């Protein structure tokens, strides 16, 4: 039987997951949602046929949605997650799984905001989830069973690949995949700028950079694809690509990426301490 899913807050990430699960075949009747305004409710209903509860008009909206759900996805901004968890706590059934799709909320903080023994799952999605190409980590709480974790995984698989990690690896996940899309965008931006410096028109350089990066991503998509093998396959000894790669490496490319990822992970840890204290 398809579980009832409640999406509390339907912004960018939670809204993408909601649309993904509907596209995967989950019946509209099994979906509950909350939004802040009647205008947002109208837009969501027009697009998805889901009739959301409006928190700006009904103070019980979030509790109504949570009361009916088997899986609740908290999708407000990180600073509001724990307040939302405390708000819905009285309405939850003991077996309802509560998952946060906001960065920086620890499993322990979420558990403390909810009734004792409530199953929780911490997640770390990234922005390609909005086009069904995301990667999302899941970290279950102490009271969450394997079946309950699988239920959350099935929901999130509607927007991409799901991996399960222990909580002490979530910051590393943030450094690699959470912030990772911006690294790729920066590379494309730098490639465009390089093309312009070499005399290409801006629009041509932009197309070359964008299509090269997105096309290379498609080559990486198969499960068996290996980044190092793909790089070696297009790097002929003493050729043009070989000289470019050598220039990257002689200038510390790998060390720079590692430092950037570590900086992201360190900031993730800082934010988790900050948000989880709320």
Using the structure block, give the residue that is written with the tokens 């912004």. 11
pLDDT tens digit sequence for 68-112 = 999 999 999 999 999 999 999 999 999 999 999 998 999 999 999
Q: Whose CA is closest to 274, among 74, 79, 76? A: 79
> Are residues 226 and 135 part of one domain?
no
- Write down which residue in 166, 189, 209 finishes a domain: 166
CB crowding 30-58: b at 16 or more within 10 Å, else e: bbbbbbbeeebbeebeeebebebbbbeee
> Are residues 128 and 20 part of one domain?
yes
- Write down which residue in 110, 145, 166 finishes a domain: 166
- Is residue 139 within 8 A of residue 52, CB to CB? The reply is no
> Are residues 199 and 146 part of one domain?
no
> Are residues 151 and 95 part of one domain?
yes
> Are residues 40 and 149 part of one domain?
yes
> Are residues 204 and 89 part of one domain?
no
Range of the domain at 54: 5-166
pTM of the predicted structure, to 2 decimals:
0.92
CB crowding 236-265: b at 16 or more within 10 Å, else e: eeeeeeeeebeeeeeeeeeeeeeebbeebb
* CA distance readout (Å), 210 to 122, 189, 214, 236, 254: 33, 8, 6, 23, 22
pLDDT tens digit sequence for 198-221 = 999 999 999 999 999 999 999 999
Is 70 exceeded by the pLDDT of residue 143?
yes
Indicate whether 243 belongs to any domain: yes
Indicate whether 271 belongs to any domain: no
């Amino acid at each position: 039987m398809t579980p009832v899913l409640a999406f509390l807050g339907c912004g960018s990430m939670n809204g993408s997951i909601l649309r993904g699960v509907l596209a995967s075949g989950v019946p509209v009747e099994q979906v509950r949602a909350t939004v802040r305004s009647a205008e947002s409710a109208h837009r969501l209903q027009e697009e998805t046929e889901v009739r959301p509860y409006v928190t700006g008009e009904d103070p019980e909206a979030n509790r109504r949605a949570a009361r009916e759900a088997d899986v609740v996805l908290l999708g407000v901004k990180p600073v509001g997650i724990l307040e939302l968890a405390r708000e819905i706590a009285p309405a939850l059934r003991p077996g309802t799984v509560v998952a946060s799709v906001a960065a920086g909320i620890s499993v322990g903080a979420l558990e403390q905001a909810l009734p004792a023994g409530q199953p929780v799952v911490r997640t770390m999605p990234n922005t390609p989830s909005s086009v069904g190409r995301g990667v999302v980590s899941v970290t279950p709480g102490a009271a969450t069973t394997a079946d309950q974790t699988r239920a959350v995984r099935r929901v999130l698989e509607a927007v991409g690949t799901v991996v399960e990690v222990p909580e002490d690896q979530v910051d590393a996940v943030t450094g690699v995949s959470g912030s990772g899309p911006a690294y790729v965008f920066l590379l494309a931006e730098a490639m465009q700028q390089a093309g312009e410096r070499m005399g290409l028109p801006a629009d041509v350089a932009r197309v070359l950079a964008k299509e090269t990066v997105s096309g290379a991503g498609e080559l990486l998509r198969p499960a068996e694809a290996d980044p190092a093998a793909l790089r070696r396959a297009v790097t002929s000894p003493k050729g043009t690509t070989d000289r470019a790669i050598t220039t990257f490496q002689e200038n510390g490319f790998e060390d720079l990426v590692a430092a950037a990822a570590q900086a992201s992970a360190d900031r993730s840890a800082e934010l988790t301490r900050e948000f989880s204290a709320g």
